[in-house]
Chains A and B, each alone.
Chain A
Amino acid sequence: DIVMTQSPDSLAVSLGERATINCKSSQSVLSSSNNLKYLAWYQQKPGQPPKLLIYWASTRESGVPDRFSGSGSGTDFTLTISSLQAEDVAVYYCQHYYSTPFTFGPGTKVDIK
């Protein structure tokens, strides 16, 4: 199984500042056949299911603000919130969907400093 790790476990950022979350997969999730990276990012607020933010490592889901962006290589990925807003306080998870089981990272909690 592919193991997903995230860093940091939590971070506190001032309103309007940048937040950066890292995700690492134990093996590459880049497909050589289509050059796509099988990596998604989710946001979860208390009492709610996770919400899809990013798929294919860098494609923003419809309706997601453009302050959210994703990037990365075959094993190392980053979610960036360019200008943190109060409504962005949440836990963020990465997930690969390269091969079953489609495992999730442990999550990164983002707070306001």
Chain B
Amino acid sequence: QVQLQQSGPGLVKPSQTLSLTCAISGDSVSSNSVAWAWIRQSPSRGLEWLGRTYYRSKWFNDYVVSVKSRITFTPDTSKNQFSLQLSSVTPEDTAVYYCARLKNGYCDYWGQGTLVTVSS
């Protein structure tokens, strides 16, 4: 059974960097058959797919254009986890952030969600 456990701060100051980690059990971050995604949800934006990271002989990342200049996904094979970093945050980045496993593109396993508030 795949489980995704999210961790990271729930409060980030404006202009700083949001950092979250998703620890994977029951699968491998470097699996050749799935991908790993970050999705966020807010009342104003709904469910917003932020991007994915995946391994197919080498690592690939896809990011949504709206945050592409500010976002980085980092897989950590030694800890079997992947991380999200979103820089220069504003209050518009306040949301519940989810990690998820992508199988063929659909999200079959989700993390528990982390409410991140951007406020001074």
Chain A residues packing against B (C-beta within 8 Å): 1, 38, 40, 42, 48-52, 55, 61, 93, 95, 97-98, 100-104, 106-107
Q: Tell me if B46 and A97 are in contact (CB < 8 A).
A: no
Q: State in angstroms the CA–CA spacing of A104 and B110 once bound together.
A: 15
Which residues, 13 to 54 on B, are CB-close (under 8 Å) to A?
37, 46-49, 51-52
Which B residues have a C-beta under 8 Å from some C-beta of A? 37, 46-49, 51-52, 62, 64-65, 98, 100, 102, 104-108, 110-113
**Count: A-B pairs, CB below 8 Å:** 57
Interface secondary structure of B, over-half rule: strand
Asked if B105 and A38 make an inter-chain contact with CB atoms under 8 angstroms apart, the answer reads yes
Minimal Cβ-Cβ distance residue in A for B64? A101
Chain A min CB distance to B54 (Å): 11
25 residue pairs A–B, Cβ–Cβ below 8 Å:
A1-B65, A38-B105, A40-B106, A42-B107, A48-B113, A49-B98, A49-B110, A52-B107, A55-B104, A61-B108, A95-B47, A95-B106, A95-B107, A97-B102, A97-B105, A98-B105, A100-B51, A101-B51, A101-B62, A102-B49, A102-B102, A104-B46, A104-B47, A106-B46, A107-B46
